[in-house]
Amino acid sequence: MNLERLFSKRTRTMRPSEIRELLKLTQQPDIISFAGGLPNPNAFPINELQDVVKKVLDKDGKLALQYGPTEGIRALRNTLANRCAKDGIDATSDNILITTGSQQGLDVLGRIFLDPGDTIIVELPTYLGAINAFRAYEINFEGIPLDKDGMQVDLLEEKIKELQKKGIVPKFIYVVPTFQNPAGVVMPESRRKKLVDIANDYDLIVIEDDPYGKLIYEGEAVKPIKSFDDEGRVIYLSTFSKILAPGFRLAWIVASQELIRKLSVGKQALDLCTNTFAQFIANEFIESGYLDLHIMRIIEMYRPKRDKMIEAIKKYFPPDTICHKPRGGMFAWATIPGNIDTEEMFLDAIKEKVAYIHGKAFYVNGGGANSMRLNFSYSSEELIEEGIRRLGRVIERKLKESK
């Protein structure tokens, strides 16, 4: 049977995610994986969760196992709204929508905003899962390069003007401003304010995706872009995936009430509601004080892993490799010298039983061929050293071949 003729036009623009495809490969125990943005499973708070799950079942079992509201259970929305205040974001529970992972949040945003042929603006490089979520809506991407301080907002303004001349108004600007995926950089406060000013001046929406903002290894937290927004044009996303456990598939969006209502209708057809049991558990986990303790614990666990990875890159990669030490998050971004294509090199790396995500996967317009994203949260320090040593060998061989 020829299924191709039956598939929607939309499916032609869909692409499998390198991260998802590689997850299967890298789950093989003998591969050292720096590929997926996986939390360290040794950190999962299993004992605390046993306590919390029992409490939830004893106290709220009948509600927790039932369908819940599409927007999410009120208790969790309240708890998250209160936590927003600590980050300078003004929100009540009506400004919160619980989603099945931020990945669903991105898709629902695509659903409510994007028509085929629309244009959106993203960072170069940007989160691959967002590229795939938005690409399915048959849109055009415009990219703004990053520097060590995140999206270059001066270039953003130029781009908006250039598009205006062609009669194009971008539907939104998507940014991961804090410990960016994949590049690890942080946008400082001055740029955040400038970005909000630009959005106000040109009447645009900003989507701020922030899964990593709490994973800070040194220095101060930078306030979310959303905290500078007085006009309800910044939509903020965060998730329990990196600070608790991705298996929960639990995340949230903070936005104006009007947007939350629209997003909620967009979400109804996807899953009716997010896993109610997981919401009760997460709420109890926070209320019992476990979440803040857990975040402190994983920060202490990930910092030395980050240090080990950066140290190993300095030791084993060619001396003119560019790799800045990220101040937080889960990723190091390395750009290696010469004409090496990290996508091609991947096969050699797999032969050496080490995996990463090649740089091109994060670019909407080409670019990134000699870069790679390396996750440091998942592997032990010993395996980080060994994996980077193997990669160093692969790179050295490739460089010799290309001469």
- For ligand G9A, which is the closer residue by CB, 10 or 20? 20
Least distance between ligand PMP and beta carbon 129 (Å)? 5
Which residues in 100-139 contact ligand PMP (CB under 6 A)? Answer: 101-103, 127, 129
Instruction: Give the Cβ contact number of residue 261 at 10 Å.
Output: 14
Check binding of 37 to ligand PMP (CB under 6 A).
Answer: yes
Applying CB under 6 A, which part among 16-24, 48-56, 73-81, 264-272 lies near ligand G9A? 16-24
Report the alpha-carbon angle 109-111-113, nearest 5.
65
Check binding of 251 to ligand PMP (CB under 6 A).
Answer: yes
Least distance between ligand G9A and beta carbon 20 (Å)? 5
Residue 326 preceded by cis peptide, ω within 30: no
Task: Name which position in 93, 239, 335, 377 contacts ligand PMP (CB under 6 A).
Answer: 239
Helices (H) and strands (E) in the chain, counts: 13, 13
Question: Which of ligand PMP, ligand G9A, none sits in contact with 356, Cβ below 5 to 8 A by type?
Answer: none
Which residues in 35-64 contact ligand G9A (CB under 6 A)? Answer: 36-37
Question: Which of ligand PMP, ligand G9A, none sits in contact with 251, Cβ below 5 to 8 A by type?
Answer: ligand PMP
Report the alpha-carbon angle 309-314-320, nearest 5.
130
Of residues 185, 149, 166, 170, the one with CA closest to residue 327: 185
Least distance between ligand G9A and beta carbon 38 (Å)? 7
Specify the 3-state DSSP secondary structure of 164.
helix
Q: With 0-12 CB in 10 A as exposed, 13-18 as middle and 19+ as buried, what is 180? A: buried
Check binding of 26 to ligand PMP (CB under 6 A).
Answer: no
Question: What is the edge-to-edge ordering of all strands in the sheet holding 251-254?
Answer: 96-99, 251-254, 234-239, 205-209, 172-175, 119-124, 140-147, 150-151
Least distance between ligand G9A and beta carbon 331 (Å)? 8
Question: Which of ligand PMP, ligand G9A, none sits in contact with 144, Cβ below 5 to 8 A by type?
Answer: none
Number of residues binding to ligand PMP, judged by CB under 6 A: 14
Residue 45: which residues within 8 A CB-CB, separation 6 or more?
Answer: 244, 245, 285, 290, 294
Specify the 3-state DSSP secondary structure of 173.
strand
Site for ligand PMP, rule CB under 6 A: 37, 101-103, 127, 129, 176, 181, 209, 211, 239, 241, 246, 251
Residues in contact with ligand G9A by CB under 6 A are: 19-20, 23, 36-37, 129, 181
